[in-house]
Amino acid sequence: MIGKGLHESHTETEEDKTLSEKAASESRPLNFIEQIIKKDLDEGVHSNVVTRFPPEPNGYLHIGHAKSICLNFGLAQTFGGQCNLRFDDTNPEKEEMEYVESIKRDVEWLGFEWAGDVRYASSYFDQFYEWALHLIREGKAYVCHLSPEETKEYRGWATKPGKDSPYRNRSVEENLAEFEKMRAGEYDEGACVLRAKIDMASPNMNMRDPMLYRIRKQAHHQTGDKWCIYPTYDFAHGQEDAIEGISHSICTLEFADHRPLYEWFIENLPVPSKPRQYEFARLELNYTVTSKRKLKQLVDENHVDGWDDPRMPTISGMRRRGYSPASLRNFCEMIGVTKSGSTIDVGQLEYCVRDDLNNNAPRAMCVINPLKVTIENVKPETKKTMVQPVHPNKEELGERELPFSREIYIDRADFSEDTTLSRKKFKRLVLGEYVRLRGSYVIKADAVITDENGEPTEIVATLVPKTVGENPPEGIKPRGVIHWVDANDCVDCEVRLYDRLFNDEAPDAGDKNFLDALNPESLQIISGCKAEKGLVNARAEQSYQFEREGYFCLDSKYSSDDKLVFNRTIGLKDNWKK
C-alpha cells in the first residue's frame, strides 16, 4: 500500500511555525521594530497594532516582498493586532489585475490572512481629491505648468537650492479653477501637475514642492474611466495609512528621505489618525536581480518563461520551482530585521529550502538518464514488490511499493566498464563487481552490450539471492548503493534541471548590463526519464526528494495527464560553494 504522505501536499507542522509564532516562543531578542511596538503598547501610545502590506500592482512579488510580508503580517500576529492587504494602485499605466490576483495568491500561499476585505488606494480617490482641494484652499498647493524638463531644472541639485516655479504664487481661486480643468480632462498628459507648496530650498529634495497629482488619460483597473488625474504614491500613501488607522507604517530604507514629506501631509491635512513611518533594510540577495523593471524586461524579452519561471526570484516562480512557504518564512526570520543594509548570500536561502525539504519531502526514485539492466537469474514472468518508507524519519507517512522484475533501469552515470576505478572514487556499479539496489537486491554486472559507437545500451547482470534487507554472503562486498526503477512498471517523465539564473554575484552592480550575467546553463530539459510508478499520482507543486538526485516537484504549468514534468528545486548539496 502506498503511504498517505507520498502524494499529499505538505501540511503545517511544529517545524513550520511562522515568524511571529517563533518570535513568541523563542528567547531571541526583539528586533528594533518589535521593541518600538512593545514600548508604544506599554506606554499606551497605541492600544492595538495595525500594520499593512502595500504592494503596487505593477509586477509579481519577489523574495524582497516576502521579507516585507513576513514582517508586517508577523508583527500583527505577534502583538495580537491586524494586517491589511492594500494595493497602492495610483498608476494605471503600469498596473494590471493579473498582478493584483498574483499578489493575493502569494500572500495566502505564504500562510497569512489579511484583515477584512482587500483594500485599494483607488477606493480613497474621492477623499484624496477633497484633501487636494483642502491644500489648495489653504494656500499649500498649486497647479504648475512647467514642462518636466523645466521642473527638473527649477528643482536644483542636492547641493544647489531650487527656485520657485513662476506658477507658485497663483491665487487660490485660479488654482481651484486650473485643478478642475485638470480633472475635467481639458489638459493633455504632461501639460500640468498639482504640486505642494513646501520649500524649494530644502536640503531634502522630496520637500521641494513635490507633485501631488498628474494627468493620466487611462482607464483604471478599479475605477474605470472615472478619473483622468491620479495622486502620486507619496501623496496617497500616508493618507491611506491614516484612513485605515495604521499604527506602525513599515517601509524599506529608501523611503527614509520621504518620511518628512509623509509627516508634512499628515500634519497639514484633516486626517482621522496620525500614523508613523519606520524603515528597515530591504533584502539584497547576491546572484539575484529584484528590480521590477529588470524582471519585467526578462519576461518581455523572453529570457525566461514568464513571471513564474522557476529561475525567477518571484514568489510565484519559487513556488513553481518547489520552494515551500515554511522555507521562505524561515529564511526571512534567519536574516532578521535591521536598519543597516547588507547583501545576503543566496546560499542562506538555499540552505533553508534544502533543510525544510529534507525534513518534510517524501522520497521517490527517478532515473534521469536510464540504462537498461537485464537480470539473467530472474525469470521473465517474475514480479516482486519491494517496500520503502515514504520518509526515512517519519514512520507516520507510511510506506511505498516498488515493483521489481527481470528488467530495471539504473542511471547511466552509475555504471562504468573501467575495472581500475577505486572504490573510494566510484561507489557505483562496475563491470564484474557488485552494487546494492536501493531497498532491493545486491546485483553484479556480468556483461555490457554496446552500440556501434561503443556506448553501453544494456547491462547483463545477476542478483545475489536473499539480500533484500540482508547482508550478502561473505566475500561479496558491494561498492555502494544506487537507485533504480522497474523497466516494465514505471512512469515516463520529463525532468527540468534548474540552476541560478545569473552566474555573477552582483549581476546589476554599477554599470553592468545584467543580461550579460545570465547563466546559459540555468535550465537543462531532459526527456525520457523513468520514475517510480507512484509518481503518476503526483500533484502540482508537491515536493519530493528524488533519491541521490535532489529535490523536485511536479510542474504546475506544463504537466498534464499525458505528460509529467518535474522541476528540480535544488540539489542535495550546494554546488556553488567557493
Nearest of 489, 485, 493, 490 to residue 562 by alpha carbon: 493
The alpha-carbon radius of gyration of the chain (Å, integer) is: 30
| Cβ neighbours of 468 (radius 10 Å) | 17
Question: Is the per-residue pLDDT at 1 higher than 60?
Answer: no
Tens digits of per-residue pLDDT, 458-492? 999 999 999 999 999 999 999 999 999 999 999 99
Tens digits of per-residue pLDDT, 105-119? 999 999 999 999 999
Tens digits of per-residue pLDDT, 445-460? 999 999 999 999 999 9
Q: What is the pLDDT of residue 16?
A: 44
Question: Is the per-residue pLDDT at 24 higher than 60?
Answer: no
Cell of residue 299, nine digits? 519576461
**Average pLDDT of the chain, as a whole number:** 94
Tens digits of per-residue pLDDT, 293-325? 999 999 999 999 999 999 999 999 999 999 999
HEC string of 299-321 equals HHCCCCCCCCCCCCCEHHHHHHH
Residues 251-278: b if buried by 16+ CB within 10 A, e if exposed: beeebeebbebbebbbebbebeeebbbb
The mean pLDDT of 522-546, rounded to a whole number, is 96
Question: Is the per-residue pLDDT at 88 higher than 50?
Answer: yes
| Cβ neighbours of 394 (radius 10 Å) | 15
Q: What is the pLDDT of residue 27?
A: 62
Question: Is the per-residue pLDDT at 8 higher than 90?
Answer: no
Tens digits of per-residue pLDDT, 139-169? 999 999 999 999 999 999 989 999 999 999 9
Domain with CATH 3.90.800.10 in the chain: 138-229
Q: Where would I find the H helices in 220-306?
A: 233-244, 259-268, 292-300
Q: What is the pLDDT of residue 265?
A: 98
Domain with CATH 2.40.240.10 in the chain: 365-489
The confidence band for 541, taking pLDDT boundaries of 50, 70 and 90, is confident
Alpha-carbon gap, residue 291 to 512, rounded angstroms: 14
The confidence band for 575, taking pLDDT boundaries of 50, 70 and 90, is confident
Amino acid found at 176: L
Q: What is the pLDDT of residue 578?
A: 54
Q: What is the pLDDT of residue 577?
A: 65
The mean pLDDT of 32-45, rounded to a whole number, is 97
Residue 137 C-beta-side C-alpha neighbours within 13 Å: 8
Q: 3.90.800.10, 3.40.30.10, 3.40.1160.10, 3.30.365.10: which CATH number matches 138-229?
A: 3.90.800.10
Tens digits of per-residue pLDDT, 162-200? 999 999 999 999 999 999 999 999 999 999 999 999 999
Question: Is the per-residue pLDDT at 291 higher than 90?
Answer: yes
HEC string of 88-123 equals CCCCCCCCCHHHHHHHHHHHHHCCCCCCCCCEEHHH
The mean pLDDT of 341-346, rounded to a whole number, is 92
Tens digits of per-residue pLDDT, 329-343? 999 999 999 998 889
| Helices and strands: H and E segment counts in the chain | 13, 29
Question: Is the per-residue pLDDT at 134 higher than 60?
Answer: yes
Question: Is the per-residue pLDDT at 555 higher than 80?
Answer: yes
Residue positions annotated with a catalytic role: 56, 282, 292
Nearest of 204, 195, 273 to residue 239 by alpha carbon: 273
Contact 33, 248 (CB under 8 A): yes
Question: Is the per-residue pLDDT at 13 higher than 90?
Answer: no
Tens digits of per-residue pLDDT, 248-257? 999 999 999 9
The verdict on domain 365-489 having CATH code 2.40.240.10 is yes
Q: What is the pLDDT of residue 28?
A: 75
Question: Is the per-residue pLDDT at 15 higher than 90?
Answer: no
Alpha-carbon distance values, 130 to 122, 126, 171, 267, 363 (Å): 14, 6, 18, 16, 61
Q: What is the pLDDT of residue 71?
A: 98
The mean pLDDT of 8-32, rounded to a whole number, is 54
The mean pLDDT of 493-513, rounded to a whole number, is 96
Spatial neighbors of 39 by CB under 8 A, at least 6 apart, are: 45
Question: Is the per-residue pLDDT at 3 higher than 50?
Answer: no
Tens digits of per-residue pLDDT, 236-283? 999 999 999 999 999 999 999 999 999 999 999 999 999 999 999 999
Contact 573, 439 (CB under 8 A): no
Q: What percent of the chain has pLDDT over 90?
A: 93
Alpha-carbon gap, residue 229 to 216, rounded angstroms: 6
